[in-house]
Amino acid sequence: MLELNLNMKLLEMCSKCGACYSICPSCTHLPGYDPRQVVADIVQGKFEKWLSSSSIWQCLECHYCLEMCYQHYGFENAMTALRTIATKRGLNPPQVKRGWDMFAKTGKLGEPALPARKKFGLPEPSKSGGEELKKVLDALKDRRGKGHH
């Protein structure tokens, strides 16, 4: 289960439901955002057109759909899967690439602001585990290279 999978049977129900629509912040406030349509297209194998759409990046991952879902599934899973494929094809927003590069390089999304720490009398920041994490992520790559998926 380390690799992402979708449950098409649950998604089929999801495409016909909408129990989460009245609470989903993007459904209620972003005109044109319609996850049920996205899910219906996934189920029918027609997801390609969504890969370059800004719509799939508008899921806020607030997990309301998961909480409201009768199947305890939520369309967020579908959005995450589309984002992953879009990123593999280089169709991601530029900021995602910048964030990922920073994470891959340092294991963090930023370094402690040292002058401000001094100003507020904060102690030296703890040591980062970035180097160790890199080894783990490299081991993950190796494992995939050997055909474990």
Partner 1 sequence: MKEFAVFWGCTIQTRFPFLEKSTRIVLDEFNLPYKDIDGFTCCPEKSLVNNVDHASFVVTAARNVALVDELDYDLVSPCTGCVSNLATVKGELCSNPKEKAEVNELLKGVGREFKGTAKLQHLVPFFHDTVGVFAIKQKIKKDFAGMRIALHYGCHMIRPSHALRNDDPIAPVKFDNLIAALGAVSVQFPTKMMCCGQGLDRVDQHDLALQLARVKLKELKALEVDALVLCCPSCFLQFDNNQYLMEKEGEKLGVPVIYFTELLGLALGHTPEELGITAHRVDCAPFLKKWAECSGQAAASTMDDELNAQGAL
Q: Which residues contact partner 1 by CB under 8 A?
A: 1-4, 23, 25, 29-30, 54, 57-58, 60-64, 66-68, 72, 80, 83-84, 87, 92-96, 99-100, 103, 107-113, 116-117, 120-123, 125-130, 132-133, 135-137, 139-140, 143-144
C-alpha 78 chain-centroid distance = 10
Whole-Å CA distances, 12 to 36, 37, 107, 137, 143: 10, 11, 37, 34, 33
* Least gap, CB of 80 to partner 1 (angstroms): 6
Cβ-based nearer residue to partner 1, 18 or 107: 107
Instruction: Give me the least distance between CB of 104 and partner 1, in Å please.
Output: 9
Find the DSSP H helices in the chain.
8-14, 25-29, 35-43, 64-68, 76-88, 94-106, 114-119, 130-145
**Closer Cβ to partner 1, 14 or 83, answer by number:** 83
